[in-house]
Amino acid sequence: MIKKWLDIITDHSIGLRERMFRIVTGVCMIAITFTLPMGRSLWNILMLVTSLAAMAVIVKVSIRKKRVHTGATIIAVLLLTLFPVTFFSAGGFYSGVPEWFVLCFIYVCITLQGRRRAVFFGLCTVETMLCYGIAFYFPEIAVQDFPHNALLDSAFSMIMVGLLTSVLLMFLNRMYEEENALTQRQKKEIEELNRAENNFFSSMSHEIRTPINTIIGLNEIILREDISDEVAENARNIQGASKMLLSLINDILDISKIKSGKMEIVNVSYETGALFSEIVNMIWIKTKEKGLEFKLHVDSSIPSMLCGDEVRIKQILINLLNNAVKYTSEGSVTLSVRCERQGVNRVRVWYSVEDTGMGVKKENIPYIFNAFRRVDAEKNRYIEGTGLGLSIVQQLVELMGGEISVNSVYTKGSTFIVSLEQDIIDEKALGTFTLASRARAHDGEPYRQSFEAPDAHILVVDDNDMNLMVVTKLLLETKIQIDTASSGAECLRLTQNHHYDSILMDHMMPEMDGIECLHALRVQPAGLCQDVPVIALTANAGSDNQLLYRKEGFSGYLAKPVSGALLEAAVLSILPKGLVRLNEAAGQADIEKDILIFEQSQRRSVLVTTDSVCDLPPSLLKEFSIAVCPYYVCTDEGRFLDGQEMNPDELLMHIAGGRTGYSQPPDVEDYERFFAGQLTEAQNVIHITMAKHVSDGYQNALEAAKSFENVTVIDSGHLSSSMGLTVLCAAHMAEHHATKAEIVEYVKRMEHFISSAFIINSTHMMCQSGRISKRIQVLCDALLLHPVLALKKSRMVVRHMEMGSFNHVAKKYIRRTLQDTRNIDRRILFITYSGMNEKRLQYIQNLVQQYCPFERIYLQKASSAIASNCGPGSFGLLFLRRDDTAVPFFQTPERDGAA
């Protein structure tokens, strides 16, 4: 029985919590057994025996039902009941029972979890204090015993409690040590498994790339020949399938490296113009084949040389561009590049890939970067791919400390934006971008080699005869003299007797690999090729391998399978210029006529936008480049754009004629179109709306913003020109290169520093719009009451009432609003009004200057949304209150519209 129990508690297939439950409960049962001799009555002994039997049943049932925590709780309740009874029946202080209370605390701490542990620990504490208190103040309750028996019981209990506690701790310590050892073994096994997995993927990549190199290479040779259309179509299908297989292998290898933490970022100096040229050369044919327009926007101020992981940047952009081409059936694909200085010798570069494809549903955008998941799978089931591309892109961007975001409108297209910080190597600006192209045959066009070098002599070293044949045939039209070697040893024999202008060498070869052969070549006694450039031509792909080859002394690196164009470009880069005759016919005219290349206009980092209800003069909107999304005006005759198709005066006349009229915020689709348009002008958009409880504009804009990671919607907490003041502050900060986070933080704080209140001339419009009841409207008319409306926590409330004629209430309202002159920012004031004549406006302006002169006063006609709720004759004084961190955006020459 004991052996079986010991086997169970050392069995790692059983959970740690269950084994601890068994051990601690077993120790408590032993402790109860030892308290049996302390029982002074038959009833007491019977209760202890019953408790032991109950605990055994509870343990068995709770383990069988997998309710260990419940079983431990029941036993804890039993112990809390049992120990007090035993305490008083065995003699109270003068017995061995007090020492056993310690086990109750130990049991609760080890077997219970969470809130139950805290509750039962408190109950144990309270119970112990109660038992001692009762025994002290009412000693007659405890059964009295002889002193020598009490001393013996106490000594026995102390020894047994110490012994059992020590045994318990020994068992628990042993369990933790075994668990720790098991964890370490499992960790080691996992690490070995990861190493084996990495070795497998690396080996798989190498072994699969070798035959694919043969397939793609020989297939390209076939396409160069004069063949029938049917054969050419079959060859192109083979080429497409081979490249898709290669893409799948690359994705699996990359995701494996990233997940195992083996992906390394290798920062090197690179030419930005060369990078863009190479990317264009890889993408333009794909867009041409699908009938798409390919646009390239390049910021002329970008430095000509940067320091970053060129290979991974190229991989990111190629993945995004391939994705754009894949999901776009008509229209265009655009690559935009712009930069912004971050400090001395540091620049942030934004790469934007935009398409006019099918877009992404807003509910799928949070999952778009998940590995092995394809959003809208039903619609995209015919599009090839693993679903790994975007996940790899995101993780590569994060490894380089950058950011990636996506903006997409379903059925309209998507824009992926990557930002990376890089060091500047050469301050010289790239200027007007000139594409360096490579000729490639496509769609049946005849192949044209990029150069000829009949006097050049090169050596190709590879242990695979098929690879040697492919390279030889791909370079055949260049007329280069080519020798081949199938091993490192044969290479050294040839270089001992022949001089070569360049060498292409495989890495993974038996006996002597490419790196060992290169080192031997450099120190070869009387060798004729000690200083000849050597390119690594290998199936070991990855930027980590590229760094390895550079360190080992190779002049270049080409990953198999390699196309004829890439091979020609690599050989051309290392051959002596005097041996090469360029083929002018294979220039860049074909690419340039299919790609729109032009300098990138300067896109703003942050653009502030708002709604037409901001009530700002056109001059200010233009000066601060604030784009406005118009509200609608709805009447019996239809729906009109506020301020464009119907102005406030026309709406008031329409309503005065007994017809209905009200304002309506833009729909979600309207905001989506608006945001998509603004993101072509800026990297980020901050849209400021009217108070969210006054209009649905905020909720609609927020819903639309879910399609754009670069759009932030903020509730201004105000309306009309007070909302406009918030917009002006934000736009000024954006104009002075504040970050998005800084602007958002300041705008949210501004809500408490803007005075926003309107006095209503007549409550008829408020009644018609449903803001007050007919009874209240009649009462206001009868008593000449004029409510003063203000915003509180984005809700419109009545601040107070004014009574009397217009001139009287206007004077009281202005005096009350401007009475605290010390806390008023006097730089600017908006007097925003609805349906008011020049005489009344002049009267209001004179009163304002009398109580609190302002540097600049704008008389602004309220938008239709405000006019339809406030009615004619209403106006408001809208200004900033003093703030130590206020933005000084009005220290400029006087603008149009200011009084």
Q: What is the mean pLDDT of residues 166-175?
A: 78
829 confidence band (pLDDT: 50, 70, 90)? very high
Q: Does residue 648 carry a pLDDT above 70?
A: yes
Mean pLDDT of 696-709: 90
pLDDT value at residue 8: 64
Query: Which contacts qualify for 66-72: CB closer than 8 Å, 24 or more apart?
Result: 68/17, 68/18, 68/21, 69/17, 69/111, 69/112, 69/113, 69/116, 71/21, 72/21, 72/25, 72/107, 72/111, 72/112
**pLDDT classification of 78: cutoffs 50, 70, 90:** confident
User: H or E element: which one contains 501?
Assistant: none
Position 476 pLDDT exceeds 50: yes
Cβ atoms within 10 Å of 57's Cβ, excluding its own: 11
CA distance 377 to 383: 9
* Cβ within 8 Å of residue 233, ≥6 positions away: none
Share of the chain above pLDDT 90, in %: 21
- Average predicted confidence (pLDDT) for the chain: 81
Residues 86, 95 contacting (CB under 8 angstroms):
no
Contact status, residue 851 vs residue 814, Cβ threshold 8 Å:
yes
Residue 332 has pLDDT above 80, yes or no: yes
Asked if pLDDT for residue 779 goes beyond 50, the answer is yes
Report the largest interatomic distance among the alpha carbons of the chain, rounded to a whole angstrom. Answer: 120
Lowest-pLDDT range of 524-528, 771-775, 786-790 = 771-775
Residue 459: other Cβ atoms inside 10 A: 24
Separation of alpha carbons 810 and 844, rounded Å = 7
Q: Minimal CA–CA distance to 646: which of 661, 666, 667, 658?
A: 661
Residues constituting the chain = 899
Residue 38 has pLDDT above 80, yes or no: no
pLDDT single digits (tens) 495-544: 999 999 999 999 888 889 999 999 999 999 988 999 999 998 877 655 55
User: Which residues on adjacent β-strands are paired with residue 338?
Assistant: 350
Q: For 622, list phi and psi in degrees, rounded to 5.
A: -70, -45
> Contact at 8 Å (CB) between 550 and 557?
yes
* Token code pair at residue 682: 């800026």
Determine contact, residues 457/529, Cβ cutoff 8 Å: no
Phi then psi dihedrals of residue 682, to 5 deg = -150, 160
SS3 344: coil
CA distance 702 to 687: 9
Q: CA-CA distances (angstroms) from residue 377 to 277, 358, 360, 373, 381?
A: 34, 13, 11, 8, 6
Cα 751 to Cα 626, 688, 745, 756, distances in angstroms: 19, 12, 11, 10
Pairwise CA distance, residues 272 & 266, whole Å:
16
Helix (H, G, I), strand (E, B) or coil at 429: strand
Segment holding 425, helix H or strand E:
strand 413-429
Of 197-201, 412-416, 636-640, minimum mean pLDDT range: 197-201
| Full DSSP string of 840-866 | HHHHHHHHHHHHS--S-EEEEEPPHHH
Mean pLDDT within 121-148: 81
Greater model confidence, 776 or 521: 521
d(CA 272, CA 338): 12
The stretch 853-869 carries a mean pLDDT of 87
210-258: pLDDT as tens digits: 787 778 888 888 877 778 888 887 887 787 777 777 777 777 777 777 7
For residue 457, the SS3 value is strand
Measured distance CA(108)–CA(83) in Å, rounded: 14
Residue pLDDT, tens place only, 103-113:
888 888 888 88
Say if residue 889's pLDDT is above 70: no
| Paired strand residues for 413 | 409
Please state the rounded mean pLDDT for residues 305-315: 88
Whether pLDDT at 712 is above 60 = yes
Sign of CA dihedral 31, 35, 37, 41: negative
- Which one-letter amino acid corresponds to residue 46? L
Q: What are the backbone angles phi and psi of residue 340, rounded to the nearest 5°?
A: -150, 130
Structure tokens at 343: 């400090």
- Comparing 42-51, 116-125, 418-427, the range with the smallest average pLDDT is 42-51
pLDDT tens, 171-208?
A: 778 777 887 888 888 888 888 877 776 667 666 666 77
Does the pLDDT at position 150 exceed 70? no
Residue 440: beta bridge partners? Answer: none
- In the prediction, which pLDDT does 377 show? 47
Enumerate residues 6+ apart whose C-beta is below 8 A from 383.
326, 327
Buried-state track 355-378, b at ≥16 Cβ within 10 A, e below 16:
bbbbbbbbebbeebbebeebbeee
Three-state DSSP class for 255?
A: helix
Nearest to 59 by CA among 5, 7, 11: 5
What distance in Å separates the CA atoms of residue 363 and residue 367, rounded to the nearest whole number? 8
Query: DSSP assignment, residue 817?
Result: H
* 3-class SS of residue 268: strand
SS3 612: helix
pLDDT tens per residue across span 340-377: 888 778 899 999 999 998 888 878 888 888 755 555 54
Cα 765 → chain centroid = 47
What is the spatial distance between Cα 295 and Cα 435, in angstroms, rounded to a whole number?
13
Residue with the bigger pLDDT between 440 and 530: it is 530
pLDDT value of position 589: 43
Residue that has been written with the tokens 């144990």 in this structure: 124
Map residue 760 onto helix, strand or coil.
coil
In tens, the pLDDT along 16-26 reads: 778 778 878 88
Give the residue among 28, 30, 17 at the shortest CA–CA distance from 104: 28
Give the start-end residues of each E strand in 252-373.
Answer: 268-271, 293-298, 303-308, 332-343, 346-355
The number of helix segments (H) and strand segments (E) in the chain equals 28, 28
Question: Which residues are within 8 A (CB) of 235 and not within 5 positions of it... i.e. 6 or more apart?
Answer: 219, 222, 223, 227
